[in-house]
Amino acid sequence: MSRFNLALRLLWRDSRSGELTILILALIIAVTSSTAIALFSDRLQRTMVNQAAEFLAADLVIDCSTSIAADWLTKATQFGLLQAQTVEFPSVLIEHDELLLSAIKAVSEHYPLRGLLKATRTEDYMSETTLHAGPERGSAWVEKRILSALKLKIGDSLIVGEKPLTISHVLTYEPDKKANFYSFSPRVMINEADLAATHSIQPGSHAHYFFQFSGEPQAILDFKQWLKPQLNPSQHLLDIHEDRPELGAALLRAERYLGLSSILVILISGVAIAMATRRYTERHFNATALLRCLGCQQQEILWLYSSQFVVLGALASALGCVLGWFAQEVLFQLLKDLLPQQLVSPSFGAVLFGFTIGIVVLLAFAMPPLLRLKQVSPLRVLRRDLEPLPASAWLVYSLSIGVIGLLIWRYTADIKMTTTILGVGLSVLLMLWLLTYGLLKLLRKWLPSMNLTWRFALQSLLRNTSTTISQILAFGLTLAAMTLSFTVRTDLIDNWQQQLPDNAPNHFALNIFPEQQAAYQSDLQQHAIKGSQFYPVVRGRLVEINHLPVQQFVSKDSQGENATHRELSLTWTKELPEENKIVAGTWWSHEQAANFVSIEKKLAESLKIKLGDLLSFTIGSQPVNATVSSIRELRWDTMKPNFYMIFSPGTLDAYPSVYITSFYLPDTQKDLLNSLVKKYPSTTILEVDLILKQVKTLLMQLTQAINYLLYFALMAGFTVLFAAVYATLDNRIYEGALMRTFGANRSFLRTTQWLEFGMLGFISGVFAVIVSEATTFFLYTHWMAMDYHFSLWIVITIPLIGALFVGAAGFLGVRQVLNKPPLRVLREL
């Protein structure tokens, strides 16, 4: 106990004398930023998942063609889940001698469990209100197109099946509207209580039941796990990641970006802590030698200091948590207008995470230098120059790698991935270590031929090669983390913007007969509507690969399995469609014979199809063979018709085909749809504009959130960089003072300081570019499913930014000392 008191007293003295300032600062920054980011990303993530859950109107949905066992619902209640049901079916409406195929949706109480409905009671869109529940008994909400097509207005009666209902609202937004084949026809939403009276649902009729659940994430997960084994093939579980791939991918990437940022900020802070502790340690050699002289044993020394650090860590972490909480709150305030209205409250778990991270990072990064104190020889009391061995590199790296590995594992939940990242990271570090070492050696050779200022600046760096290398590694890592944060965010946003440009097609037209195609195209052109190419479609099934049944090639749940269990849309075209890229083989030239096929890359990989393989299809009952002449890469997330299989022109001429196209129709020209539907009654129009709007809103919110997160990471990075530079200044201040006693003037010292730190920053910047580009490449190709682009801009700017900031930090740190009388400097050290 008395030893603990001694520890506390020493801690108190040290903190009073300013010895601990930098360490405390680094720690607070670390904890503040990691808490803020943990809180922010946790909260944002949950908010976004909630937001995304809106697209299902629930957290979990069972989609099936009949009702489900009653005990499933009981079980859901036991798990504490809230429930709702919707039934969707097509029905023909007849009013005023007009006929219209509509999509009826009967909704139960509690629908929608997530998200809101929007509707108006008048026919203009101005008076739109948000509503928490669907139509009351006896009334129907309809999409505007129903009113115009059937010559109805609000308040009129509408007969659904056999049940007359009153139209009370125009439905303008439905959270779980899907781009499946039900949504081509306009919606009529009714109350579930009226369903029976419509007599529309008979055994064998084409109805879809959606059983919707919402609740605590854990309860949802438990229920899902309980449910999964009991589902039969006609029952599907929908959740946001599985059901809405275009959103799922965006969310997944955003989540991964948030995770990545957390790791990076923690890494940055760890570096600062390591450097600050190193300084602290070096400043305590004398005191430790004295304690040893006075009879303290090595273990006691270790205990004395580590208990101080634990106390320090706990205090700084607690403060950091509070600050982090505020920072996160401020961040959300800033983002208020962009984020969904209903924010999830911050979780205590994330605060605890921040706190734990603080302690763990402190111990992992501070322990190795601290352990040196144990080795301080009591003889140092007499011989000041006796220094303990430097911290064991093995210990330093294995501890920090352990922590980083743990964090990566936490975010990827994938051991193989974690070990690969660590392995790659380590090899890169080792390589760079050697490279830096070589570079310094080379510089030493050039040294004699340089002028005085440069020579002095360089000599400072070369004087202690191992310190310089570890500084370059530290600054380089910090800069790399910042660069990475920046590049990934920029590419992510670019990627999203490419995915959905402003006039991305928002309508699909299907089932256009060949004889209608020309007229349809000219109708679109007449109204200046931009559309994609018209593609002929023949439905067919892939049955054999090189005369072997395709079932032999598929693995369960793969893309291949999906594609071989149903009919594919087969098309042909002379020119390679936009946004398709040949990755193997060649696109056909005009004179090439028929019976070639170009296959999409992912499907080819899944089915192990290579160039030159012979694929056999059945169309109707007819067999068709084609040789694979090219493999294409394409983007599924653009709103354009995309095809797994494109045949060479002529191959499919013998089979009946219909055309498909997509086009962009602005809100203002929406009326055109009715005339198109009227003129070409057999065609189907798929309206995806609402869905697109949802996706765009979500992506915009994610973009903003990620931007703020980036600013935060950058701020933390720069602060830490400054703190870290300060932590390395002692020796330079001392040397500067000594040089001044020999008559070096301040401008000389100033220039050499700038040069020295500038060079340090520059080399670190080069280092950072290599690390971050390698990491980006790895992340994109293995983790985020994005294309890697080499950026010359980054390669040029980062070393300059490094030189500027490290240079400035070093300069500022030494500047104050330049103006003090040199004696005072010598005395203070």
Partner 1 sequence: MQSQIKQTLNAIILTEDLGKAVVTSEGTLHILSSIDLIINPGESIAIIGESGSGKSTLISLLAGLDTPSSGSIKLKGKSLTEMNEDGRAALRNELIGFVFQSFQLLQGLTALENVMLPLELRGDKNAKAVATALLNRVGLGQRLSHTPKQLSGGEQQRVALARAFATKPAILFADEPTGNLDSKTGETIINLLFELNRENQTTLILVTHDPILAARCQRTIRIDAGRIV
Residue from 739, 786, 795, 804 in contact with partner 1 (CB under 8 A): 739
> Any contact of residue 385 with partner 1 (CB under 8 A)?
yes
Q: Which is nearer to partner 1, 623 or 821 (CB)?
A: 821
Residue from 654, 745, 782, 828 in contact with partner 1 (CB under 8 A): 745
> Any contact of residue 459 with partner 1 (CB under 8 A)?
yes
> Any contact of residue 392 with partner 1 (CB under 8 A)?
no
> Any contact of residue 586 with partner 1 (CB under 8 A)?
no
Residue from 452, 548, 583, 654 in contact with partner 1 (CB under 8 A): 452
> Any contact of residue 824 with partner 1 (CB under 8 A)?
yes
Give the SS3 label for residue 819: coil
Backbone phi, psi, residue 212, to 5°: -110, 140
> Any contact of residue 741 with partner 1 (CB under 8 A)?
yes
Least distance CB 767 / partner 1 (angstroms): 22
**From CA 753, how far away is CA 74, in angstroms rounded?**
73
> Any contact of residue 735 with partner 1 (CB under 8 A)?
yes
**From CA 305, how far away is CA 534, in angstroms rounded?**
75
Least distance CB 370 / partner 1 (angstroms): 22
| Stretch in the footprint of partner 1 (CB under 8 A) among 278-286, 314-322, 412-420, 452-460 | 452-460
Least distance CB 822 / partner 1 (angstroms): 5
Q: Which is nearer to partner 1, 427 or 466 (CB)?
A: 466
Residue 797 class from Cβ within 10 Å (0-12 exposed, 13-18 middle, 19+ buried)?
middle
Q: Which is nearer to partner 1, 463 or 565 (CB)?
A: 463
> Any contact of residue 3 with partner 1 (CB under 8 A)?
no
Residues 6+ apart with CB under 8 A from 233: none
> Any contact of residue 826 with partner 1 (CB under 8 A)?
yes
Give the SS3 label for residue 320: helix
Q: Which is nearer to partner 1, 248 or 378 (CB)?
A: 378
Least distance CB 735 / partner 1 (angstroms): 6
Q: Which is nearer to partner 1, 100 or 739 (CB)?
A: 739
| Stretch in the footprint of partner 1 (CB under 8 A) among 180-188, 272-280, 420-428, 448-456 | 448-456
> Any contact of residue 502 with partner 1 (CB under 8 A)?
no
**From CA 723, how far away is CA 785, in angstroms rounded?**
36
Q: Which is nearer to partner 1, 459 or 533 (CB)?
A: 459
> Any contact of residue 747 with partner 1 (CB under 8 A)?
yes
| Stretch in the footprint of partner 1 (CB under 8 A) among 337-345, 379-387, 624-632, 674-682 | 379-387
> Any contact of residue 748 with partner 1 (CB under 8 A)?
yes
Residues 6+ apart with CB under 8 A from 630: 582, 584, 585, 586, 587, 588, 598, 599, 611
Q: Which is nearer to partner 1, 435 or 826 (CB)?
A: 826
Instruction: State the helix-helix crossing angle for 393-412 and 348-374, rounded to 10 degrees.
Output: 170
Q: Which is nearer to partner 1, 175 or 810 (CB)?
A: 810
> For strand 622-634 and strand 596-600, is the pairing parallel, antiparallel, or unpaired?
parallel
Residues 6+ apart with CB under 8 A from 592: 648
> Any contact of residue 449 with partner 1 (CB under 8 A)?
no
Least distance CB 292 / partner 1 (angstroms): 19
> Any contact of residue 635 with partner 1 (CB under 8 A)?
no
Residues 6+ apart with CB under 8 A from 7: 303, 304, 305, 307, 308, 311
> For the residues of 669-733, what is the DSSP string, one character each?
GTTHHHHHHHHSTT-EEEE-HHHHHHHHHHHHHHHHHHHHHHHHHHHHHHHHHHHHHHHTHHHHH
> Any contact of residue 591 with partner 1 (CB under 8 A)?
no
Using only C-alpha atoms, the chain has a radius of gyration, in whole angstroms, of 34
Length of the chain: 829
> Any contact of residue 742 with partner 1 (CB under 8 A)?
yes
Report the candidate in 370, 327, 253 with the shortest Cα–Cα distance to residue 35: 327
Least distance CB 483 / partner 1 (angstroms): 31
Whole-number Cα distances in Å, 59 to 68, 112, 114, 521: 18, 11, 7, 41
Least distance CB 738 / partner 1 (angstroms): 6
Residues 6+ apart with CB under 8 A from 772: 479, 480, 481, 483, 484, 487, 794, 798
Residues 6+ apart with CB under 8 A from 507: 662, 663, 664, 665, 673, 685, 686, 687, 688, 689
Q: Which is nearer to partner 1, 654 or 829 (CB)?
A: 829
> Any contact of residue 655 with partner 1 (CB under 8 A)?
no
CB 186 within 8 A of CB 103: yes
> Any contact of residue 279 with partner 1 (CB under 8 A)?
no
Q: Which is nearer to partner 1, 206 or 441 (CB)?
A: 441
> Any contact of residue 822 with partner 1 (CB under 8 A)?
yes
Alpha helices in 500-566 (DSSP H): 514-526, 559-564
Residues 6+ apart with CB under 8 A from 71: none
Least distance CB 17 / partner 1 (angstroms): 13
> Any contact of residue 463 with partner 1 (CB under 8 A)?
yes
Least distance CB 769 / partner 1 (angstroms): 28
> Any contact of residue 744 with partner 1 (CB under 8 A)?
yes
> Any contact of residue 743 with partner 1 (CB under 8 A)?
yes
> Any contact of residue 441 with partner 1 (CB under 8 A)?
no
Residue from 199, 336, 678, 746 in contact with partner 1 (CB under 8 A): 746
User: Is the peptide bond prior to 112 cis by the omega test (within 30 degrees of 0)?
Assistant: yes
Q: Which is nearer to partner 1, 179 or 462 (CB)?
A: 462
Report the candidate in 93, 43, 89 with the shortest Cα–Cα distance to residue 66: 89
**From CA 280, how far away is CA 298, in angstroms rounded?**
18
**From CA 488, how far away is CA 289, in angstroms rounded?**
48
Q: What angle do CA 194, 197, 198 make, to 5 degrees?
A: 90
| Stretch in the footprint of partner 1 (CB under 8 A) among 32-40, 158-166, 234-242, 453-461 | 453-461
Number of residues that bind partner 1 (CB under 8 A): 31
Give the SS3 label for residue 610: coil
Whole-number Cα distances in Å, 266 to 20, 357, 710: 20, 8, 14
Q: Which is nearer to partner 1, 572 or 811 (CB)?
A: 811
CB 510 within 8 A of CB 658: yes
> Any contact of residue 248 with partner 1 (CB under 8 A)?
no
Residue from 236, 383, 441, 678 in contact with partner 1 (CB under 8 A): 383
| Interface residues toward partner 1, by CB under 8 A | 383-385, 452, 455-456, 459-460, 462-464, 731, 735, 738-748, 818-819, 821-824, 826
